[in-house]
Chains A and B, each alone.
Chain A
Amino acid sequence: MASFKSYLVKRIILALIVLYFVVTITFILSHVVPSDPAELYVGPKATKEQRERAVIELGLDKPLYIQYLNYIFGLFKGDLGVSLRAHTPVLHDILAYLPATLEIVIIANIIALFVGILFGTFSALKKDHLEDHLIRFVSVGGVSIPSFWFALLMQLIFFGVLGILPLDGRVSTETQLFNPIKVITGFYTLDALLNLNFPAFIDCLRHLILPAFVLATYPIGLVTRMVRSMMVEVLNENYIRFAKANGFKENLIYYKYALRNALTPALMALGLSFAYSITGAFLVEVIFSWPGLGTYTVNAILENDYPSILGVTIVGTTFYVGVNLLLDIFQAYIDPRVRLK
């Protein structure tokens, strides 16, 4: 599949170019900051010498282009700067908070993929009937609901009124005291399983349900809509009519042929929703006090810790570019027409 390889190479080069610009723009943004980073670094009570030392330490005395070059080279080494409040390397902080965010993001998107394809296909097959209208309402609703508000509603209902799920956090204090999980991967549910610590596993799961569910609403809506619209289009295509006219079994027509043709937009929708997930997770994490990247970022914002903010921006964007790259490659693999572009 020579054409696939050349597409692969082209796509990767493109992604790298894009990343370069992203990084540069982030650098430019970081130098528009009105507040004085050195001052933030040493705190308001610092002496003049301490502040001057901070300036040298942060490299702010060097000319702009040198700072830029240091910045770029630093990125290759994985150096995203140092957090202004914690004085710890930003990358280190980000990696520490990342697994928590990934845990809910991944689960939310998996849910969304399955539910979305199911709803979307069913909706298309029952087009213009009641089931179609209901599903459409739900999917448009999912895309329109503010995640932070929905999270609050869920808390109100499931904790405040029904009392069956915990309010927030990743793990209850009881578990932390009596059944602590030895952290291996950073994914608490996985770690609990690996530890064979089943009570802790259940506890983590109970804490995970609401945030993951709330986070899944937007992707479910998006994937359902896209799958439905593509399925409707596909079902009208000549090759479906041809298959029908020539006796292909119905299951084959819908679940093998039509669905494969409709998978492409499902994956596209997933790519889009993944981007949303990263930022949507921020809002959800805040509500559920989930110790992930979102909480980290919001705290950084409140304290004007710009290296942290920009570090998150770079990591988040890189993730987004990477995920889209993977999805594009996968799409090119299953749909030969894409490679010809």
Chain B
Amino acid sequence: MKKILSKESEITLKLLSKDKLALFSLAIILFFIILAVFAPYIAPYPEEGEGKPAPERRFLPPSIEHPFGTDYLGRDILSRIIFGARISLSVGIFVVVCAISVGTPIGLIAGYYGGKVDELLMRATDVFLSFPSLLFAIALVASLGPGLFNAMLSLAITWWPWYARLARAQAVSIKEQPFILASKAIGVNDIRIVFKHILPNSLTPIIVQGTMDMSSAILSEAGLSFIGLGAQAPSPEWGLMVSTGRIYLLNYWWFPVFPGLAIFLVALAFNLFGDCLRDILDPKTRKSRRETF
């Protein structure tokens, strides 16, 4: 089985390397990761990036010293955006990893065991899936108080059901396959079957969904910060910057526009990459690239 996996991965990588759109979006993602990791060294005004005001330089339009201009406290917007990358990316990773870690095992177990366990778990996911995630986030954050962590938590809570559904669908289709039935016949432990055999084969849609959810997580979190429920001042979080800058739109447009542009680029990159990945990994669309007779 390991051999089959690596042949598939080989072809996947080959196809990926030929897909210009995938490479382009991957490049953007890597670019932002580098920005986030090396922020203090890349940002031209690192302390302003973290929040230190420079009131003598308020509202400067874009120039060579300040390519994105300065904000209402005179802080260099480019530096703030670079530092904001740290927040956005960590939010995305945290939410997606949490949601996958909780949702996948639940889904796999529900799909594998079926019956009452399945019914129960699926009804639970139905309840969570019925909550529009932003509404639930608003309700949760309103109860617990605003803050970045609460925002991330509420997103993770509303998102794990998706992965549970995905994992369950995979488990249901894989568990009927001969090699699983054979393992059962030999007497392999159930948990072992689920995690060693079913899990690796279920990863494909989960990975695709996870990639695109990075984008949704970043967008949702930016939205929450925009209404004041997420990150708080003086955090260089992009949504917060747009929100603060909003009233200056008509006079000092660079203040809300550039941070929003950053949100757009990151979200776009992850979505594009996920889209390309899905086209490659999905057997139905892949067939047309690898015609067999």
Which residues of chain A are near B93, meaning CB under 8 Å? Answer: none
The answer to whether A313 and B136 have CB atoms under 8 Å apart is yes
Which residues of chain A are near B246, meaning CB under 8 Å? Answer: 152, 287
User: A119 at interface (Cβ–Cβ under 8 A)?
Assistant: no
**Alpha-carbon distance A30/B229, docked complex (angstroms):** 17
The answer to whether B135 and A22 have CB atoms under 8 Å apart is no
User: B43 at interface (Cβ–Cβ under 8 A)?
Assistant: no
Q: How many residues of A sit at the interface, in one of the four size bands?
A: 35 or more
Which residues of chain A are near B222, meaning CB under 8 Å? Answer: 146
**Alpha-carbon distance A144/B215, docked complex (angstroms):** 7
**Segment touching B, from A61-69, A188-196, A304-312:** A304-312
Which residues of chain B are near A146, meaning CB under 8 Å? Answer: 219, 222-223, 239, 242, 260, 263-264, 267
User: A106 at interface (Cβ–Cβ under 8 A)?
Assistant: no
The answer to whether B227 and A282 have CB atoms under 8 Å apart is yes
User: B179 at interface (Cβ–Cβ under 8 A)?
Assistant: no
Q: How many residues of B contact A (CB 8 A)?
A: 49
Mask of A279-296 contacts with B, CB within 8 angstroms, 1/0: 110110011000000000
**Segment touching B, from A90-98, A177-185, A257-265, A315-323:** A315-323
Of B142, B215, B223, the residue contacting A148 (CB under 8 A) is B223
The A-contacting residues of B in range 93-151, CB under 8 angstroms, are 123, 126-127, 130-136, 138-140, 142-145
The answer to whether A286 and B263 have CB atoms under 8 Å apart is no
**Alpha-carbon distance A26/B136, docked complex (angstroms):** 9
**Alpha-carbon distance A212/B168, docked complex (angstroms):** 37
Indicate the member of B130, B134, B242, B285 with the most A CB atoms within 10 Å: B130
The answer to whether B275 and A140 have CB atoms under 8 Å apart is yes
User: A130 at interface (Cβ–Cβ under 8 A)?
Assistant: no
The answer to whether B127 and A144 have CB atoms under 8 Å apart is no
The answer to whether B143 and A278 have CB atoms under 8 Å apart is no
**Alpha-carbon distance A159/B249, docked complex (angstroms):** 11
User: B59 at interface (Cβ–Cβ under 8 A)?
Assistant: no
CB nearest neighbor in A for B215: A144
Indicate the member of B143, B249, B263 with the most A CB atoms within 10 Å: B143
User: A18 at interface (Cβ–Cβ under 8 A)?
Assistant: yes
Which residues of chain A are near B135, meaning CB under 8 Å? Answer: 278-279, 312-313, 316-317
The answer to whether A301 and B228 have CB atoms under 8 Å apart is yes
Of A34, A144, A287, the residue contacting B271 (CB under 8 A) is A144
Of B223, B226, B253, the residue contacting A156 (CB under 8 A) is B253
User: B199 at interface (Cβ–Cβ under 8 A)?
Assistant: no
CB nearest neighbor in A for B126: A18
The answer to whether A25 and B127 have CB atoms under 8 Å apart is yes
The answer to whether B126 and A14 have CB atoms under 8 Å apart is yes
The answer to whether A309 and B261 have CB atoms under 8 Å apart is no
11 more contacts with CB within 8 A, not counting A144-B270, A313-B131, are A14-B126, A18-B130, A33-B143, A140-B272, A143-B271, A146-B267, A160-B249, A232-B285, A302-B228, A306-B142, A317-B131
Report B's interface with A, CB cutoff 8 A: 21, 123, 126-127, 130-136, 138-140, 142-145, 215, 219, 222-223, 226-229, 239, 242-243, 246, 249-250, 253, 256-257, 260-261, 263-264, 267-268, 270-272, 275, 284-285, 287-288
The 10 closest A-B pairs by CB, nearest first: A149-B260, A279-B134, A144-B267, A144-B268, A21-B127, A275-B132, A313-B139, A309-B142, A32-B143, A144-B271
5 interchain pairs (CB within 8 A)?
A144-B271, A146-B222, A149-B242, A280-B134, A316-B132
